[in-house]
Structure formats: structure tokens, C-alpha cells
A and B are shown apart, each in its own frame.
Chain A
Amino acid sequence: MTQWYMLTFVGKDRAGIVANVTRALFEGGCNLGEASMARLGGNFTIMLMVQSSGSLEKLKDMMAPIAEKQGLRLHVDAIEGELHHHEEPDVRISVYGADRVGVVADVTGALAEAGLNILNLETDVGGTSAAPIYIVYLDGIAGKGVEKLEQALETLRKEKKLDANLTPIDPLTA
């Protein structure tokens, strides 16, 4: 009987983190599923689906020394996981503007109300330290149709002084 776990690692970025972590998991008999890894503000972050026949404690004990050696903090959750059930996004949206507090809350609040289910979201701060810009980039499923989302973006443009673009995702299968 195997169980899926979500492993989260966070630490100062340096070369070799992924190789060391995944090698240890492989040697510990684990199977890897979907993963998201990114450098955020100089930290390296890993969210990784791991399948193991052992207990949560056993997995933690196995990975704790590796995490420590790599300067990472580790968190483990038992999850209900399944593969081969991808949800396909049908819209891609980017919103950006002069950085201020509340941009993400404004954007995601308006889009949620307009029926958006977010599948993937990334944000970045660009521009200069003196004049930063905030960029939100996401894809998701338009639960109430694209028109509702366009209306929500128009409101964000007018009332929140943000720039926004929506691109329908229309996958080609061939």
C-alpha cells in the first residue's frame, strides 16, 4: 500500500538542491509525481508529490538530514493524490501595474467572482526599486465563460488602474 505525500522544501538557493533531494528520495524507494520548483526572492522552493510505502514519520526522518545538509526547511503532508487527471486551462490572464499592496487580492477576488478557477499563478516584481511594477500571471478555467472574465478585467482596468490581458487557450490536438 502506498501513500502520496506533498513535500515542501524552502531554503537559500544554491546549485545542486534538486539533484540531492531527488537522489535521496530515489534511494529511499520513493516515486515522484508532479512538481513545482522555483526560485523566489533568492530562495529555492520545492513542492513535490512523493509516493511512498512508508509512514509520514519515516519519510520525514529519511529526508531531514538531507534537508539540513542543503540548508532547507522541510514540511511533509499526507495528501490524496492522483495522476493522469489534468485539468486543462482555457484562459491565460496577465495583469500588471505599479506595485502597491492589494493587487493580488483585487485581481483574484474579481476573477473568482467572475467564475475563474485558477490552476496556476505566478507573480513577479519587476521595474526598479524606486518604481516597482507588479505582474500577476495565471491560467485557469473560465467557469462562467470568458465574457464574465473580460468584464471583471475591464473593471480592474478602470477602478484599480491595472493593465490586463486575457488570451483564450485553445489547444490543438493533432
Chain B
Amino acid sequence: MAVLEVLVYPNPGLKQVSKAVETFDAALRDFIADLKETMLTGPPSVGIAAPQTGRLERIVLVDVSGKPKTPNHGFMILINPNITGSEGSVIGREGCLSVPDYTGNVYRAERIALTAQNEFGRTHHFNFSGFEARAVQHEMDHLDGLLFLDRLVSRRDRFRRKVYKAPASQTQNS
């Protein structure tokens, strides 16, 4: 295994669209092991995408299990991921290994349904919500050459944040 170099913006590699993985062989699994080691070795991160290391293939790793009180699926290898449904829109602060010393507010779907292949090419279905859904969407953006910087909303943006629930005492009157 090896720790790979993480590309930092403005490296043009981060703005490329990645290709689908077609061959699920030992070389792919070796690369995934390297990618995982890279994710675990650098600054604390809940995910990494293959193109962040210069490999333009549709592979992301996500693991939000280290975060307390966060529903999660543990460590996941998502290959050729495809969002099949999404719901809600929430704003949250994001940072990125490829964009040091900056965080910004970004809207993401609150819940997503997704299919992805594992390292052996088998297709799985997932439903993600909250922080984990945000992490998956952030990583998947890398596969299309997008950074959270492409989705920034102003720090002043405060009223479109989410659909507000009416307080219980008012719901019957509205």
C-alpha cells in the first residue's frame, strides 16, 4: 500500500470528468487500498475521491462513522455511483482536502438514494441522509470535476436554509 499525493486546487486534474470503472480486478482493489490509506493518513477527512489523487475514475470512499451521533453505513467503497432520488435541501459548511484553509456554505440534498458498485463490481442500493448524504454528494462532485467552491452560497444567505417546521402550537391554526 502507498499514500498517494492529494491534488490541491488549482491543479487542473480536479476539474476533469472521471470515467466509469469497467474492470474490477486486483489492480483496482490495490488502488482502493492506497486510496483508503491516503484518506486515513492525511488530515481528518470523511471521504476521498479517486480524482483527488489524479486517477480519473468514478471511485469514492466515504466513512462518517468517526463522527459521534451520526447515522452511517461505516466505511464504504462506492464505484460508478449514481443518484437515483433525492429529497430536501439543506445548507452546511464544507471543507476539502483539495482546498486547504477554507470552508464555505453549500446546499445539498438532505436525503439521497443511490446505486453503486463495490470493488468486485456488485451493485448495491443505498439510502443516505444528513451528514453522510452530504459527504457522498461532496465526493461524487469530484467525479464530475466539481469542487464545493462551485456550489458556494454567500455567508449572508440565511433564509433559504431549509423548510422550517411550524412550532407545534401554531400548526393547527395555519
Minimum Cβ distance to chain B for residue A157 (Å): 12
B45 lies within 8 A of chain A by Cβ: yes
- Inter-chain pairs besides A169-B93, A171-B93, 6 sampled, C-beta below 8 Å: A170-B131, A172-B94, A172-B138, A174-B45, A174-B48, A174-B95
CB neighbours (8 Å) of A86 from chain B are 101-103
Query: Which residue of chain A is the closest to B141 with respect to CB atoms?
Result: A174
Instruction: Please report the total number of B residues contacting A with Cβ < 8 Å.
Output: 24
- Answer whether residue B78 sits at the interface, using C-beta atoms and an 8 A cutoff: no
Report which B residues bind A (CB closer than 8 A): 43-48, 62, 92-97, 101-103, 131, 134-135, 138-139, 155-156, 158
A84-B92 Cα distance, complex, nearest whole Å: 22
User: Quick check: A174 and B131 within 8 Å, CB to CB?
Assistant: no
User: Which residues from A are CB-within-8-Å of B95?
Assistant: 171-174
A sample of 10 cross-chain residue pairs with beta-carbon separation below 8 angstroms, ordered by A number, consists of A86-B103, A122-B156, A172-B46, A172-B94, A172-B131, A172-B134, A173-B46, A173-B96, A173-B103, A174-B135
Question: Within 8 Å of chain B (Cβ to Cβ): is A31?
Answer: no
The yes or no answer to A120 lying at the interface (CB within 8 A) is yes
Q: Compute how far the CA of A86 lies from the CA of B47 in the bound complex, rounded to whole angstroms.
A: 23
